Structure 1
Amino acid sequence: MKRLSPGLALTSVSLLLSVFCNNIVEASGDSNGRIKFSPNTSNRYKLKNPQISTGYIWPTQGRMTSGFGIRYGNMHEGIDIAGPMGTPIFAAATGVVISAGWNSQGYGILVKLRHPDGSISFYGHNRRLLVRRGQQVEQGQQIAEMGSTGNSTGPHLHFEIHPKGKMPVDPIAFLPEPDGVTNVRRNPRTRPSQLEVPNSRLPRMGNREWRVED
């Protein structure tokens, strides 16, 4: 058994693996903070349904007022969740802040996070930011307060997910069952995917290569 120290150590492994922290714990059979590792890996290590079931959490609470897709003749590239002014906004997954500040394209005060799998999440229309560019954040950490900045008619969060190198996708497909969010509409055609992590992306300890044990 390889013991990892809480928090930062697991996050470091997450970034090395390009896999979300909770996927590592789920796949390894975590027991009292102990993560199993073993030498001599196979060619590839597969995680089933990585982002769809466990990668992201809901970034706020409130009522979903607009979904992903065509809206008023234009593409709406995320979902909107309305709530009282100042409602906490949380990081949907572990990541690094790549942008935090005013956006002139309608998002108002915007935060962008890059996650271990290379995806990027957007958090728009905030009243106040609690993070800065370059900062590493944990899943569930508060990063902002809900507001109505930019092209907005009332306090809400505009939330987007952009898979690495791809156009934005419906965030609902990446989120678990609603927790504190009402009026959620899922697309029944959404299907989960698989993530493959090559050995070249696994962490090395000394001269040995390790992986999360199947």
Structure 2
Amino acid sequence: MINFDLNELGQLGSMLSGIATCIAVFVAWKAKNEWFSENHFQLKNQLVSNMLDVYMKGVKYCEFQYSISGLTIQAIQTCYKNGEEFKIPEEWEKQAVKNLQDFDNELQRLIKQSLIVESLNNNKHKDLTNRIVTCSNRAIHLLQYTNLTNSEFNIDTVEKWENRYSICLDGKMDFEEAMRLEIKSISNDLLGMSLNFEWLNLDTNFISIEQFLDIDTKSVN
């Protein structure tokens, strides 16, 4: 006959209960850790994706700016030869204002997202937001050229518009190159993956001013 010591059984039960509690805590911790890791990865992945969106919009809006300058130069010269006056279309100015507002809104959302990623990384990438802002400011500098209809349009101002064209073209190329480098670098830092822009097939070539216009021209006063 086997004799059971109730005290020993109680101790064994307590020990098993303690082990079960430890296992439950470990499983819960592991699940929570895996959730945070997955959620954090998704946040970082979304950040890089949104950087690509800001990059595409920045390139398009900067191209719109230097396209305006180029078309204005041609129009002034043509009108001068024909003895006509040139007036820049109001929808161009409205589009320029909309582009600036849209880019600024997208950038603000991107900055908020980058600050969250920085905080979750325990400031491991504490310069992340600053790098994004530094690149984006190159585009904002050009997009602030919104006062178009009040400018002078005569043969004497061609040189001014040629200078503006050069500034916009160089600025667009600077933004494009700097943002590409930062996207590649940040993607590598956060995800361990370097992006190949050629594989992404990002179309930033525009052949007509109409491709830049997405406002309702009927609403132009």
**Which has the larger share of strand?**
1
TM norm. shorter chain > 0.5? no
**What is the TM-score of this pair, normalised by structure 2?**
0.26
Which is higher, the Rg of structure 1 or of structure 2? 2
**Which has the larger share of helix?**
2
**What is the TM-score of this pair, normalised by structure 1?**
0.26
